[in-house]
Amino acid sequence: MPVNQKAFEALKAALGPAQVALVAVSKTKPATEIRELYDLGQLDFGENYVQELVSKQPLLPSEIRWHFIGHLQSNKVKFIAPFVHLIHGVDSSKLLREIDKQAQKAGRIIRCLLQVHIATEESKFGFDEEELSLMMQELQNNQSVLSHVKVCGLMGMASFSNDEALVRKEFSHLKSIFDRYANEEFNILSMGMSGDYRIAISEGSNMVRIGSLLFGSR
């Protein structure tokens, strides 16, 4: 299926003035379709699976900024450390330490977002508020140790639900948590997908991750 150019232009027109960054989620889509969207001017792409990302990345322009948005296992960090632009789903101190280690090996500083669990569903990964507070404390205290990661904000997923009030409440909650820590360096709030990005933006998101709207259903 070809990329939905109309949807892409409409999204850009809506997000640009609001200064909301667009990550095009290309999981399960072939390199040819990613290339199509790149040719329309898109540079940020998001992938969920390490194997898939590692196999597609060499086929595409090096200018592309690859976002890892899936659940990342510590033992796979080394495969994406040499090139990944932003890791959205950091949900443990152990994972952050491994990213730091692999970033050091690759001679890079890797930018990360901490994932916060905001949905009512059990299945979504992420820190709860208490754990996040401890993680932020740990970062404060270990700045010199964790010198190859840069934690620049938060990521969250709302419940997969048609209940707009619920979704809005969850995004609004994440925004209020983000505001506690936000500063010049900690300034990315990644929330919103194809089905709920409008709500996310109205609740303060500044980065949306959009797949099916651009590439069609998976």
Ligand X SMILES: *Cc1c(COP(=O)(O)O)cnc(C)c1O
| Interface residues toward ligand X, by CB under 6 A | 25, 27, 48, 69-70, 157, 193-195, 209-213
Cβ of residue 25: shortest distance to ligand X, in angstroms?
Answer: 4
**Do residues 66 and 84 make contact, with C-beta atoms less than 8 angstroms apart?**
yes
Residue whose CB is less far from ligand X, 175 or 209: 209
Cβ of residue 103: shortest distance to ligand X, in angstroms?
Answer: 22
Cβ of residue 140: shortest distance to ligand X, in angstroms?
Answer: 27
State which amino acid sits at residue 67: H
Rounded CA-CA distance 3/23 in Å is 14
Cβ of residue 142: shortest distance to ligand X, in angstroms?
Answer: 27
Residue whose CB is less far from ligand X, 92 or 104: 92
Rounded CA-CA distance 38/45 in Å is 9
Residue whose CB is less far from ligand X, 123 or 144: 123
Determine the residue with CB nearest ligand X: 211
Residue whose CB is less far from ligand X, 172 or 194: 194
